[in-house]
Amino acid sequence: MNNWLNKIAITKIPKVGPVTARQLISYCGSLDAVFNENKKALAKIPGVGEKLAADILSRTYFKKAEKELRFIEKQEIQPLFFLDSNYPYRLKSLYDAPLLLYYKGSTDLNKPRSVAVIGTRKPTPMGAAICEELVEGLKAYNVVIISGLAYGIDVIAHKKCLDLEIETIGVLGHGLGQVYPAAHKSVARRMLVKGGLLTEFSSDRGPDPGHFPMRNRIVAGMCDALIVVETARKGGSMITARFANEYSKDVFAVPGRIKDSHLKGCNHLIKSHQAALIESAADVGYIMRWEEAELFDKKELLYASLNNREMQLVKLLEQSENITIDELTIGLNYSSSEVASILLNLEFKGLVKSLPGKRFLLIH
């Protein structure tokens, strides 16, 4: 992992965030060139100046980088640099995406379908139940579910995922040297087996208040769809929803009672067209067109598994909206018992539906 030292080091330079770091790498031509550039050239880069150029060339931050490298090697943490092929592709196009991520877990961060489930830290019993129902319903779409491992809706979603063996990723507002809140340590350990923990913060960074909006932008960036279950008009969930809209993600919200102030956030998102109203996971699947794609793939596989006689019968059914068994027998030149047997097999496969009057319909 020696080649990781410079990648970690650039994140340790004071006042160098993801945007400035990209500027440095772009102007200098490569990451290694940043540390070998002369002060005058560095100072001319937009957003740098002489003071920051001097700080970059001082190399005093390399001691912190070396310490972090030892930590991730010992803890078997996977670092992900934004120029690397395994960096989450959903984040790569974001202007403020983290330069470096730290990941520990077993789940692929580039799964085809990803949903974030977020909400208040103090959910109502109804909100908690709705969250669990949504997670259960999302399992059919083969998604990885992302949240922030916080109290309330976040941890309810993670726990339900673990119970149902759904892969789940917790995005942290601190480094992997700890778990916050401490009450969620056991959940975090279980998530390493069926999911993972992801953060942009090095191991020495704690859960400072300013870290959580930064965490929220990663939650928003990592998902295809964001679901807000319960939230007040202001708070972390609203910040995450704003990021998701900025990143052109699909945002969904569960409506709340209009007189409950701690539920007004979801209603506002829906009313202001920042989120689509949903009542179930099926609504998400429909809007995301996942259900249609899934049914299409399933039908294609079923058609490929049909034998010649079954395909002949299917083609006859395609030519008529509904057809009698006698008409099928004549059209195929098979015995009525043979046709009845083929029809039964197709019904079992979910391709044919029987109608009154011994008529049959192809299910599209």
The DSSP secondary structure of 109-163, one letter per residue, reads: TT-S-EEEEE--SS--HHHHHHHHHHHHHHGGGT-EEEE---TTHHHHHHHHHHH
pLDDT level of residue 293 (50, 70, 90 thresholds): low
d(CA 48, CA 357): 81
- Closest alpha carbon to 299 in 313, 283, 282, 314: 314
Cα 249–250–254 angle (5° rounding)? 135
CB contact at 8 A, 327 and 360: no
Domain limits of the chain?
2-73, 104-288, 306-362
* Model pLDDT, residue 274: 97
- Closest alpha carbon to 220 in 251, 197, 175: 251
Task: State whether CATH 1.10.150.20 applies to domain 2-73.
Answer: yes
* Model pLDDT, residue 84: 85
CATH of 104-288, one of 3.40.50.1820, 3.40.980.10, 1.10.287.810, 3.40.50.450: 3.40.50.450
pTM for this model (two decimals): 0.78
- Coil, helix or strand for 84? coil
Model confidence at 323: pLDDT above 90:
no
Model confidence at 29: pLDDT above 80:
yes
Task: State whether CATH 3.30.70.100 applies to domain 306-362.
Answer: no
Mean predicted confidence (pLDDT) in 127-138: 96
Model confidence at 142: pLDDT above 70:
yes
Mean predicted confidence (pLDDT) in 103-120: 96
* Model pLDDT, residue 2: 53
More confident residue, 282 or 348: 282
pLDDT level of residue 291 (50, 70, 90 thresholds): confident
Write down the residue that tokens 């779409």 correspond to.
141
User: Residue 238 CA to chain centroid, in angstroms?
Assistant: 18
